[in-house]
Amino acid sequence: MNHLTLNDGRSIPQLGFGTWKITDEDSAPLVKKAIETGYRHIDTAAIYGNEAGVGLGLRQSGVDREELFVTTKLWNDDHGDPAAALRTSLDKLGLEYVDLYLIHWPVPEQNLYASAWKTLVTLREQGLAKSIGVSNFYAETLDDLQDSGVVPAVNQVEIHPTFANRATIEANTARGIVTESWSPLGRAVDLDIPILELIAARVGASVAQVILAWHLAKNFVVIPKTVSPARMRENLETLDLVLTDSDLAAIDALDRGNRTGSDPRGTVPRPTPSSA
């Protein structure tokens, strides 16, 4: 497994297993299977409603806690008390700490994300979250966190070939923040693009593998979700797939600004999100 170094000195497995839209009941066997397949990074969130199942799957895997990297996220309605929200998530997960705790959305109309971030800093100091970061933040909201003196370790945002999200990636890079991709396959919309099919045929891989290899080559963390054990293995095999510079350039050229989830600059639906 490849790892990336975070700005707090810790490392994160570059390829993880996403659990969005997996039910609590289904999460335990799927997380267990993912870990048996070789995954060590599991991504969930309070709003997914599956933290208990994810935690059960972690325990059933039999893998030592120290070998696993677990991410969960603070939901929009809990910006006023992140400490209580994290305690609830830890109780559901059955864990003493998470490896990464993210503010799921900035929700600018609430204007609470900067104060919530300061609480996350305290939670990290207390050891309840080993690393802290954000999700769906953009340059202006990242700058609003500067007063804390702590830069997010990760910003998890929507990225896929037809939505390159370059401005956010540049903002992350300039601040030393690792970029993590959610919806890395464009919710399957990007799987039918002819140039990707041509590249996949040439390298002997699936289109999904080609897209994931593009994310990995750009030094993003990527967390594809699947309920298929076969696709779990296929996604993990992407770590061995090398694309040429011309392949990467061809995929870069597919950007159409095709956002599939909510725009974080606007109003994010509550309580059920329309995106990861």
Measured in degrees and rounded to the nearest 5, phi and psi for residue 43 equal -115, 125
Strand partners for 158? 182
> What tokens were used for 253?
């050229």
Sign of the four-CA dihedral 145, 68, 21, 74: negative
Number of compact structural domains in the chain: 1
**Within a domain: 255:** no
In this structure, are residues 131 and 154 in contact, taking their beta carbons and an 8 Å threshold? yes
- Position 274 pLDDT exceeds 50: no
Confirm whether 48 is a catalytic residue. yes
Full domain range(s) for residue 154: 3-187+218-226
195 inside domain: no
Question: Is residue 104 situated within a structural domain?
Answer: yes
Residue 57 and residue 35 in contact, taking contact as beta carbons nearer than 8 Å? yes
**Could you report the per-residue pLDDT of 68-98, keeping only the tens digit for each?**
999 999 999 999 999 999 999 999 999 999 9
| pLDDT tens digits, 144-193 | 999 999 999 999 999 999 999 999 999 999 999 999 999 999 887 888 89
Cα separation, 96 vs 150, in Å, equals 23
Would 134 be classed as within a structural domain? yes
CATH number of the domain within which 70 lies: 3.20.20.100
Does 254 map to a domain? Answer: no
Residue 274 belongs to a domain: no
Q: Where are the alpha helices (DSSP H) in 73-220?
A: 82-93, 113-125, 139-143, 166-174, 194-203, 207-217
Q: What is the Cα–Cα distance from 89 to 98, expressed in whole angstroms?
A: 9
For residues 6 and 13, is the Cβ–Cβ distance under 8 A?
no
131 lies in some domain: yes
113 within a domain of the structure (yes/no): yes
Neighbouring residues of 244: CB distance < 8 A, sequence distance ≥ 6: none
Catalytic residue (one of 39, 48, 101, 138):
48
pLDDT of residue 268: 63
Give the angle subtended at the CA of 100 by the CAs of 95 and 103, to the nearest 5°. 110
pLDDT digits (tens, 9 = 90+) for 180-219: 999 999 887 888 899 999 999 999 999 999 999 999 999 9
